[in-house]
Amino acid sequence: MSAVHLIFDLDGTLVDSAPDIHAAVTRMLADEGVAALDLATVTSFVGHGLPKLVERVILRVGLDIGQHPRLTKVTLDHYNAASSDLTRVYPGVTQVLTGFQRAGHRMALCTNKPVGPARDILRALGLEGFFSLVIGGDSLPVTKPDPAPLQACIAGLGGGAALYVGDSEVDAATAVAARVPFALFTEGYRKTPVADLPHALAFSEFASLPAMVAALQAGTGAD
């Protein structure tokens, strides 16, 4: 039996990046002479990629939506300048990824964050070596919850059985659309009760994930 492929979301799943995203948004708003939004509000906008997040910020503070392309670039520039200053890996992630790698699982990253900043964060936080493939929000013409990014990850890993690990409504919808089992990390950025999100398994601590993956693989007979 071959090891099931493991595909991970990034923000709110492997890392808590909201503080750096909030800081970039705060700097963009300061450039425009607008007061900052609080961390919880900006965190609630995470999930559909940076352009959507900036759109939600613009609508919340009353800026001109016609400035969306410019303000998205400004926010991205601020973020790229300090994308990992405040971002932290969730407890247990590095140890669990190390174990998965040693067990023969091929792993990929499927995120709506642009691929450049995603790779920068992986590199800065010592996670880059775990992933043979990174699909970002600018890698394809579409983003999650369209199934194409997740399907591209599976194809890039050689096809076969896969599990998608994420934290949000977007991730759950992506897995459903791609017909891939979904593992829900319950401590990320979701806004919906766990019971209302479709998932094959749910976990609050990464240390519990390997046993769940092993049981799921045994049940599916992945080969």
The pairing of beta strand 5-8 with beta strand 162-166:
parallel
Cis peptide before 117 (omega within 30 of 0): no
Q: Are the C-beta atoms of 32 and 78 separated by less than 8 Å?
A: no
| Euclidean distance between CA atoms 105 and 93, whole angstroms | 15
3-state SS class at 188? coil
Q: Are the C-beta atoms of 110 and 8 separated by less than 8 Å?
A: yes
Q: Active site includes 9? A: yes
| Euclidean distance between CA atoms 209 and 93, whole angstroms | 10
- Containing H/E element for 108? strand 107-110
| Euclidean distance between CA atoms 122 and 110, whole angstroms | 13
Name the active-site residue from 9, 20, 167, 171. 9
Active site residues: 9
